[in-house]
Structure 1
Amino acid sequence: MTFLTQLAKRRSIYCIGNNIDMHNNDLEHLILQAIRLSPSSFNSQSSRAVILFDQSHLKFWDMVFDRLSHMIPAEALPRTKSKIECFSMGKGTVLFYEDQHVIKQLQQQYSSYAAGFPIWSEHSTAMAQFAVWLALTEHNIGASLQHYGMLVEQQVSQEFSIPTHWSLSAQLVFGSIEDVAKEKTFIDDHLRFKTFD
């Protein structure tokens, strides 16, 4: 599979299941390698990850729904519950973090660029997230990127003993593909690209 073919194959898959042939150890190795090989500014290697399988995965999404159930209107609760249940039915979730100690050390070491390091940290985690997503896609595993961290970060940190200087960025929930993604549409290229000789 060429890289562009793999890019085209990668989609946000929301209807996922637990029907994956790969063993947890193999999935862990795949995810670790994808993150390890991802680029980072100044070779900071600031990306961190927590991989939740099976019961820990379920526990995380229970936390998310419990928090949401106290925030959203009652009429929106059934739809939200259905959405979270779709995630819960997957195989696992990767929690992506950035190590703030690393960022602060770089800010001190390269003070002229201090303002840029938090931004470049976001670039690093985005590339790590994308690398894991593509690696899962290559093995016909569906995934979608979620952003519920701000709701449950403290609770998750306590539950899974996460260092306080790790900042939660995003969650990639993954599993077997149980339904095809909707057709992807694109805006006109001239609205996005400029080329000069």
Structure 2
Amino acid sequence: MASSATVNANAVIEQFKNRRTYYPLSKDLSVSTERIQEIVKEAIQHVPSSFNSQSNRAVVLFGADHEKLWDITTEVLKGIVPEDKFEPTAQRMAMFRGGAGTVMFFEDQDVVKAMQTNVPLYAEQFPVWATQSNAMLQFAVWVALEAEGLGANLQHYNPIIDAKVAEQWKIPSSWKLSSQLVFGGRTGPAGDKAFNPVEDKFKVFGA
């Protein structure tokens, strides 16, 4: 029994190791759009949340809707980045637009506020716990998409795009945008990744 558990854990950890940041991405998908939707729906149903509050929300954009997101982001950034320094930003936006889709992750603030009211003892912690749960969802979806052979990179253009995103896709006002996971076909290997010594990041007692 112990051996079987070890093999299973190693398989899961191997998927963690395989998850990397890929840029740029293509519009070629190794799986169907239905499969991608299934992955996101399964993850959002089964990722844990404090008190089973289920505050996570997600919106998946394909095709023209995916491109529209990065057009919106480009326009917003044009009003922030000086014109003479905008070209690198424009190239970055074009790179994201060149992917096949984006998963937008949200936290439902109405759920968080309800939990704060219903369980006042932990009122200050519920926003933190909601963010932790959302981070687990982001990681779960990222790992799963890469397990299907896709590449992905995680972006954070919130809150500057929040209002326009909500207007474009009729997002409920209580949904707070937390990140944008761009996905698509891999156009090359992931870059090198450096690791700090694990001894600086890990302690154990009582073993």
TM-score (norm 2): 0.92
2:146 paired with 1:176:
no
Alignment partner of 2:146 out of 137, 145, 166: 137
Q: 2:76 maps to which residue?
A: 67
Computed over aligned residues only, the root mean square deviation of the Cα atoms, in angstroms, reads 1.1
2:24 paired with 1:10:
no
- TM-superposition CA deviations, 1:95-149 (whole Å, max 9, x none): 1001111111111110010000000000010001011001101101111110002
Whether the 8 Å contact between 2:57 and 2:107 is mirrored in structure 1 is: yes
C-alpha distance in 1, partners of 2:194/2:170? 41
Bigger mean CA deviation after superposition, 114-123 or 34-43: 34-43
Unaligned runs of 5+ in 1: none
Alignment partner of 1:77 out of 70, 86, 89: 86
Q: 1:115 maps to which residue?
A: 124
C-alpha distance in 2, partners of 1:196/1:76? 52
Whether the 8 Å contact between 2:30 and 2:149 is mirrored in structure 1 is: no
Q: 2:4 maps to which residue?
A: none
What SS is found at the alignment partner of 2:159?
A: helix
TM-score (norm 1): 0.97
- TM-superposition CA deviations, 1:141-167 (whole Å, max 9, x none): 111110002111001101100000111
Size of the aligned set, in residue pairs, is 197
Runs of 4+ in structure 1 deviating by more than 2 angstroms, as ranges, are 73-76
- TM-superposition CA deviations, 1:65-97 (whole Å, max 9, x none): 111112112333111111111111111001100
Alignment partner of 2:161 out of 136, 152, 174: 152
Deviation at 1:62, TM superposition (A): 0.3
Unaligned runs of 5+ in 2: 1-9
- TM-superposition CA deviations, 1:162-184 (whole Å, max 9, x none): 00011111111100111211111
- State the one-letter code of the partner of 1:164: S
